Amino acid sequence: MVHCSPGLAATSWEVGNWYRPPGARMMAGQSMYEQATYSIVWAVYAVLIVIAGFVLKYRLLRVLGLLGLLAILAKVFLVDLSNLKLLPRVLALAALGMALLGVSFLYQKFTRRSDQS
């Protein structure tokens, strides 16, 4: 788990470089699109941790991945949605709700399958 953290840090650094000219400060004036990109990248990372937990049959990885998703969910509600107008906010919440339902459905399905074997 710890050995994957530099990869996430490097990916986050690259996301920052996509949105800023060379020499600009890292946290200065982040756009709505940059914040959304961070959320997407971190969510994909958390889902990969959950998948690794199922593949390796290691419960701690699954729990850590779900905790990561919980932290990203808090960021989306507290940071990302505060910058959106009404219609994009409704669409973002609908997409987030569908994604959470999908993750919970797959988690339940794979948990039952791993318990049976």
Give exposure, 9-41, as e/b (b: 16+ Cβ within 10 Å).
eeebeebbeeebeeeeeeeeebeeeebbbbbeb
From residue 41, give the alpha-carbon distance in Å to each of 34, 37, 109. Answer: 11, 6, 24
Q: How confident is the model at residue 114 (pLDDT cuts 50, 70, 90)?
A: low
State which residues form the domain around 91: 2-116
Contacting residues for 52 by C-beta, under 8 A, at least 6 apart? 58, 61, 65
Residue range 32-66, pLDDT digits in tens: 777 778 888 888 888 888 888 888 888 898 899 88
Q: Which residue has the higher pLDDT, 79 or 117?
A: 79
Can you read off the two tokens belonging to residue 56? 């390796």
Can you read off the two tokens belonging to residue 110? 């794979």
Q: How many domains does the chain have?
A: 1
Give the whole-angstrom CA distance, residue 67 versus residue 81: 20
Residue 35: the pLDDT is 78
DSSP 25: -
